[in-house]
Amino acid sequence: MTSRPEGDLSIDQVRAHRKTMIDVGRRLPGSPLAETAAQLRAAGLAEPLTRAPIIVDTDLGGDADDALALVAAARHQPDLALVLTADETGPEQGYGQRARFARHLLDTVGRRDVAVAAGATAGRTDYFCVADLIPASVPAVHGGRDAVLAAVAEVAGQSEGPIRWVGMAPLSNLAEVCDHLPEIAARLQVTQMGGAIDYRRPERAEHNIRLDVDAARRVLTAVGDGRLAKPRFVISDVTFTDQIAVHAAHPLHQRLAAASEPWARLLADHLDRWYAAHHASTLQHDALTLSAALGLPFVRAATTRIAMDESGRWTRDEDGTALRLSRSADYPAFMTWLAEALDPTVEPAAAPATAAASSGVRRPA
């Protein structure tokens, strides 16, 4: 089985993240981020780290946190290689609308190089609010289990070593990879949003687990039998907090709404539709998960053994499956990072050169 280093970024990416954290910390004296920056300045920097492609698995088009996270990755992660969709739309909206929105959003950011495949569907979904934001000219995207597996195999075939899997959706696609591409599953470094120990609604499981309990069970089985290395789960206990909420009056939303860049306006329109159809704010579960996958120092985690019941609820169990579960997070520092990542005046690190031609664009701190 392929071993996986805990650090999974290139040395250049680590240096860039470290410099950003230190510079932002200097601008916020007395803050938790300033303390983190001081620790980074004092710490040595390990060399070298392995560069690894990124696969994002998302239920984009419902809660807008997926879109904010995806754009942050698309703008600043050159290694973003593939976007998969899960909890896909069914007959009511037409299969694959999440994937079409992903294609449109990536194209708007300038990342036509990133592949998209439509994944699992339960036949219907209650969380899709961007149908009117997808131009009719956006074509259908290849979909279904075979398309997902082929797309993952294509990414795996372009490099050796680890592949970063950032899960922002039910575990349906990950389970298929574990079951049908075990040699590739062995290379995955999984960071997954989902699961809960003390869920706010104790009578049911956390959302991403609840929507496909069978897939979650198959993934836990793969961890238990060694096909999949111990994944990191950023659990609802840590992500469900107003400290990472974005709402209509939030500076991040206001900046996007005032921007002229098409991708920023598209995000603002998506946010507006989410507020109108579902909730007055969106919690940044998925961007926090992305930050953990990138090795940024916001989320603290520890190994915990869990058991899952037939409905998908988790409990601690000494005889259960060992996972790395989030314990806490530095929310102010994380939100500062996310605001920078989605600031239209910050030059993207991963977009085509033409997207950064304006003299009004600055590089990240």
- Residue 2: inside a domain: no
Residue 97 falls inside a structural domain: yes
Instruction: Please state, in angstroms and rounded to a whole number, the distance separating the CA atoms of residues 347 and 343.
Output: 9
Residue 200 domain flag: yes
**In this structure, how many other beta carbons lie within 10 angstroms of the beta carbon of residue 105?**
27
What is the residue type of 226? G
CATH number at 220 reads 3.90.245.10
Per-residue pLDDT of the chain (365 residues; tens, 9 = 90+): 333 333 344 455 566 777 888 888 888 888 877 888 777 776 655 433 347 999 999 999 999 999 999 999 999 999 999 999 999 999 989 999 999 999 999 999 999 999 999 999 988 788 899 999 999 999 999 999 999 999 999 999 999 999 999 999 999 999 999 999 999 999 999 999 999 998 888 888 999 999 999 999 999 999 999 999 999 999 999 999 999 999 999 999 999 999 999 999 999 999 999 999 999 999 999 999 999 999 999 999 999 999 999 999 999 999 999 999 999 999 999 999 999 999 999 999 885 533 333 333 333 33
| CB 216, CB 309: distance < 8 Å | no
Which domain, by its residues, includes 150? 53-342
Query: Could you tell me if residue 184 is inside a domain?
Result: yes
Structurally, the chain folds into a number of domains equal to: 1
Task: Please enumerate in sequence order all residues whose Cβ is within 8 A of that of 162, keeping only pairs 6 or more positions apart, or say none.
Answer: 2, 4, 5, 8, 50, 52, 187, 188, 189
3-state secondary structure at position 19: helix
3-state secondary structure of 335: helix
Is 138 a member of any domain?
Answer: yes
Buried b (16+ CB within 10 A) or exposed e, 125-145: bebbbbeeebeeebeebbbbb
Question: What DSSP character marks residue 218?
Answer: H
pTM for the full model?
A: 0.84
91 belongs to a structural domain: yes
CA distance 287 to 335: 9
Residues 6+ apart with CB under 8 A from 194: 167, 170, 171, 206, 207, 208, 209, 216, 233, 234, 235, 236
Residue that the structure tokens 């998209």 belong to: 116
The C-alpha atoms of residue 297 and residue 317 are separated, in whole angstroms, by 27
Q: Identify whether 363 is part of a domain.
A: no
